[in-house]
Amino acid sequence: MTLPVTVLGLIPSFMYQVFSRKYRPRVFSEVVGQEHVVRTLKNAIRLGRVAHAYLFSGPRGTGKTTLARILAKSLNCADGPNADFDPDDPICLDIDAGRSLDCIEIDGASNNGVDQVRELREAAKSLPVQSRYKIYIIDEVHMLTQAAFNALLKILEEPPAHVKFIFATTEPYKIPPTVSSRCQRFHFKRIPRRLIADHLQKICIQEKIDAERKALEMIADISEGALRDAEVALDQLISFYGEKIDQSSVQEMFGLVGIEPLCRLLTDLAQGDGRGALKEAHQLLESGKDPLSLLRSFRNLLHDIALYMASVESLGLELDPEELDQVRSMSSRLSLSFVINLLEAIDQWENKLRYALHKEVLFEIAILELSQLKEKVAIEELLAQWRVQGEESSENLKGEKTALSTPPLPEEQGKKEEETTLPQALFPSVQAGNPPSGTKEQPQGGSLTPVGTQKKEQTAAELFSHSPPPLSPQEQWAKLVESFAADKADFRSLADKLYFYECRSEELIIQHALTEEDFSRRLSPFIPLLAKEVKKVFNKKLSFYPLHLKPSGLTAAESPTKNKRKSYSPTPEKNNPPQEHFLVDEASLKNDPLIKEALELFKGKILRIENPKVEGSP
């Protein structure tokens, strides 16, 4: 049997044509998914407003070169310019076959030098041979060199009336602004999944192929919005499986995975079950699935779940009922913050996996890390709740301070003084800065606050606060001394001679107004027990230092110290006499251990002791 051949006798006359060429759109109405570009170009042709240069940009396989040819055919057809031209016109057939003398297609990747552009510029000056316009279609125009772009600028800015330029590129940011600003730019978007599946179904009907709708949608998914890629994939499936294509055929051919295994994997990750997630990942890898495809499919599932949780109504048009039910079920068990964190982590792992040498190992590491994401999200949620509670408490505290700092009106002053007696009866507990009964109040900074004023402020703070404020170290020491002296009669007489000085990082410093003999004979037996109590309350060690000051003209309970030397005596003294000067106790000063050590260290001796002078005295 002899095969029919062409005139040259070299190529069979019934050569097979792939789907991407056989079903390439020939007129505007056959273009899929680029309605905004089609409508603009058709209106420009009808209104006679065709520009001299166009720039088509967008992802691969979305119809840039195809639409450039259709535009050239609509301009150069026999009855043109006409948006509804006849695709069987001889000029249109020549343009489709690439043999038209007036429609020149140039590959910018291989003709990117300045010499080729200079030849183009000279050839563009001549009139078209048989058509109305001389049209130059430059594909991958971003591959031209900078010198080539510079050579193109002049003719692009002021072209002859019979010349039209159509540029196509996938990387428009590489084109100099001086070139793109001289063109009308159209961006080609990725074609939606539903439109790709519909187009593939029309091809299957014409080719008499029995294909499941779900299988066609899976092909549309792997094409990522590129119609040409979907047509090539369908052509490959038919060549392998024949006239029947189902979902399992697509999964086996391209290493895809269904939504159910991905949902099981997502459930394990949401529960923080690293072992279960790794087991599911092992099963998918052992079935021949590509790690990068698995991660992309998982990313698409999370994307659908996030859109559903955000109430995007258009999601129902993209998914079939079975997938929509799975997405609805998973979204009810996950939080939006967890899904978003998963998407961000998967995006990083996808970039690493794309260039990895051992993709399976890196995929398993990614699954293990994603299984720990639940704990990170939980910690972040706890911190967020803590911040919110902190802000609320600070706002409440500001409101309390504002209420307390607002001065009362003169006519309300008498009422407030009467109202404070009731809270004092209801809240008899010890207030901050208000010692319990039986103690003596010491002055701070040489001035005393009236007891009645303190009670009013404290009672108002109680009324405006739901919980007592935290105690200061001074207040904690006062409560400790009070509780310690409750069952120790010998210690009560010493309590009014112990003064809080400072709470440091490792020790609590207390000053005493005792002689060396009283300190060693009376206070020393209580120091071990008192140190244990200090350890429990402050978690610090207890240190005592003498005052070296003997009050003169004052009661023994009053502290001669400054602001931070506050006394915690059992009962406050309501009528304190004015504070006078103090005399230095010479015997206590000479017997002080620190003074003795200083004298021994520097080989010195005490020559004289002077008493400090009071301001205003002679």
| Whole-number pLDDT of residue 331 | 86
Q: Which of 317-321, 514-518, 526-530 is predicted most confidently?
A: 526-530
Q: Does residue 205 register a pLDDT over 50?
A: yes
- Domain spanning 19-189: CATH 3.40.50.300: yes
| Whole-number pLDDT of residue 383 | 66
| Whole-number pLDDT of residue 436 | 43
pLDDT band at 397 (very low <50, low <70, confident <90, very high): low
pLDDT band at 322 (very low <50, low <70, confident <90, very high): confident
Long-range contacts of 491-498 (CB under 8 A, 24+ apart): 491/526, 492/570, 494/522, 494/523, 494/526, 495/568, 495/569, 495/570, 496/439, 496/440, 496/556, 496/557, 496/567, 496/569, 496/570, 497/556, 497/557, 498/568
Strands 549-550 and 244-245: unpaired
Of residues 447 and 494, the one with the higher pLDDT is 494
Q: Rounded distance, CA 205 to CA 211, Å?
A: 9
User: What are the helix (H) ranges across 465-559?
Assistant: 473-484, 489-495, 516-518, 527-538
Q: Rounded distance, CA 118 to CA 209, Å?
A: 50
Boundaries of CATH 3.40.50.300 in the chain?
Answer: 19-189
Contact of 124 with 134, CB cutoff 8 Å: yes
Confidence (pTM): 0.57
In terms of Cα–Cα distance, which of 126, 172, 197, 166 is closest to 41?
Answer: 166
Q: Does residue 495 register a pLDDT over 90?
A: no
Stretch 479-489: mean pLDDT:
83
Q: Does residue 130 register a pLDDT over 50?
A: yes
What is the distance, to the nearest Å, from the Cα of residue 335 to the centroid of all Cα atoms in its chain? 15
Residue with tokens 């008192």: 530
| Whole-number pLDDT of residue 382 | 64
Q: Does residue 579 register a pLDDT over 80?
A: no
pLDDT band at 581 (very low <50, low <70, confident <90, very high): very low
| Whole-number pLDDT of residue 455 | 43
Contact of 541 with 566, CB cutoff 8 Å: no
For the chain, the average pLDDT equals 77
In terms of Cα–Cα distance, which of 167, 170, 212, 164 is closest to 44?
Answer: 164
Stretch 423-446: mean pLDDT:
42
In terms of Cα–Cα distance, which of 472, 466, 449, 456 is closest to 400?
Answer: 466
pLDDT band at 65 (very low <50, low <70, confident <90, very high): very high
Q: Does residue 437 register a pLDDT over 60?
A: no
> Each residue of 134-182: pLDDT tens digit?
999 999 999 999 999 999 998 998 889 999 999 999 999 999 999 999 9
Stretch 337-355: mean pLDDT:
87
Of residues 169 and 546, the one with the higher pLDDT is 169
Q: Does residue 321 register a pLDDT over 70?
A: yes
| Whole-number pLDDT of residue 254 | 84
Of residues 368 and 455, the one with the higher pLDDT is 368
Report the range of poorest mean pLDDT among 81-90, 254-263, 264-273, 582-591. Answer: 582-591
| Whole-number pLDDT of residue 315 | 63
| Whole-number pLDDT of residue 536 | 83
Q: List Cβ neighbours of 104 (8 Å cut-off, separation of 6 or more).
A: 134, 135, 136, 137
Boundaries of CATH 1.20.272.10 in the chain?
Answer: 255-374
Q: Does residue 551 register a pLDDT over 70?
A: no
Cβ atoms within 10 Å of 442's Cβ, excluding its own: 23
What is the distance, to the nearest Å, from the Cα of residue 160 to the centroid of all Cα atoms in its chain? 54
| Whole-number pLDDT of residue 588 | 62
| Whole-number pLDDT of residue 26 | 93
Domain 255-374 adopts which CATH fold?
Answer: Zinc Finger, Delta Prime; domain 3 (1.20.272)
What three-state secondary structure class fits 164? strand
> Each residue of 288-301: pLDDT tens digit?
788 888 888 888 88
Q: Rounded distance, CA 304 to CA 343, Å?
A: 11
Q: Rounded distance, CA 138 to CA 108, Å?
A: 6
Of residues 552 and 496, the one with the higher pLDDT is 496
In terms of Cα–Cα distance, which of 492, 548, 543, 555 is closest to 516?
Answer: 548
| Whole-number pLDDT of residue 556 | 36
Q: Rounded distance, CA 327 to CA 111, Å?
A: 49
Q: Does residue 393 register a pLDDT over 90?
A: no
| Whole-number pLDDT of residue 181 | 92
- Check residue 18 and report its DSSP letter: -
Contact of 440 with 567, CB cutoff 8 Å: yes
> Each residue of 240-272: pLDDT tens digit?
888 888 888 888 888 778 888 889 899 888 888
| Whole-number pLDDT of residue 67 | 95
pLDDT band at 80 (very low <50, low <70, confident <90, very high): confident
> Each residue of 19-32: pLDDT tens digit?
999 999 999 999 99
CATH class, domain 471-613, is: alpha beta
| Whole-number pLDDT of residue 502 | 83
| Whole-number pLDDT of residue 46 | 93
**Percent of the chain having pLDDT more than 90?**
27
Boundaries of CATH 3.30.300.180 in the chain?
Answer: 471-613
To the nearest 10 degrees (0 to 180), the angle between helices 64-76 and 90-97 is: 150
pLDDT band at 401 (very low <50, low <70, confident <90, very high): low
